Amino acid sequence: MFEVDNLIKLALDEDIGIKDLTTASIISPGKEVTAKVIANEDAVLSGLDIFYKVFTFLNSEVKFKKFYGDGDHIKKGDVIANIICDAVDLLRGERVALNFMQRLSGIASLTHMYVEKVKGYNTKVVDTRKTTPGWRSLEKYAVKMGGGMNHRSGLFDGVLIKDNHIRVCGGISQAVKKARCNIPHIFKIEIEVKNLDELREAIDSGVEVIMLDNMDIKEMEKAVQIVNKRTIIEASGGINLDNIVDVAKTGVDIISVGALTHSARACDISMDIVQKSS
């Protein structure tokens, strides 16, 4: 929560600066108004509580009534929430609050599309570390709201040996051996492979998870047959809504998709002041 608070403060400082020049020049403090938060398209909601939290940084007396929660499916025209606040604070926080919710709802909505595509297959859709700097915890939260699952949070909570690690160490076997000697026994080791020869070496090294990096469908199918359930198999690289079903059909256990966070479009959600409060 401390991380999110700092992010909100940074965003407000970035947007407001020394003051909201427009609002300060035309509206005096003390005028309480009511606004509605409205969905302008179908979406999976995420970030509603952060939307509200933005305004609490500006006005401790803000009143907020939500009609939906994160993870809910909303329709175009739905009123997501009502907010009552001093007009000055409402206008100062509007853009920042919407930026958080639009971005996170976009990620949740895109994730839902991917998850729905592979419904019925024995595979999980997970995210990657391809996130907006500083936003990772929020964006990974949004992935979960969309029905996806999280990969490791960062470099600190999982061992994933990638191609550049392998080059530096001199090979797959060498890299895995060094990792085994230097990590706690409770950690699994995942290693990235680019072809079937590397796959066989990874199996022989005793890793628990193998990532098939940018393999085509036929090569993935062969890889699944070779592994024969001896390790968890993750497919990664170049996966999109057009090919994810074919990837799932190969029998991989996990499909990681960078697009969930790096290519999600912000959802169209607006906040409209509807009346002065009595």
Do residues 195 and 203 touch, judged by C-beta distance below 8 A?
A: no
218 given a catalytic annotation: no
- For residues 180, 185, 187, 190, the Cα torsion angle rounded to the nearest 10 degrees is 30
Could you say which of 95, 129, 144, 200 is catalytic?
95
Could you say which of 20, 70, 213, 234 is catalytic?
213
222 given a catalytic annotation: no
Q: Cα 7 to the chain's mean position, in Å?
A: 16
Task: Report the sign of the C-alpha dihedral through residues 207, 119, 241, 248, in that order.
Answer: positive
| Bridge partners (DSSP) listed for residue 256 | 126, 236
167 given a catalytic annotation: no
200 given a catalytic annotation: no
Could you say which of 36, 130, 180, 200 is catalytic?
130
Could you say which of 31, 65, 162, 265 is catalytic?
162
Backbone angles phi, psi at 132, to 5 degrees: -70, 125
Could you say which of 78, 139, 192, 198 is catalytic?
192
- For residues 132, 265, 243, 223, the Cα torsion angle rounded to the nearest 10 degrees is 10
Residue 67 corresponds to which tokens in the numbers above? Answer: 């009609």
CA distance 215 to 213: 6
198 given a catalytic annotation: no
Catalytic residues, which ones? Answer: 95, 130, 162, 192, 213
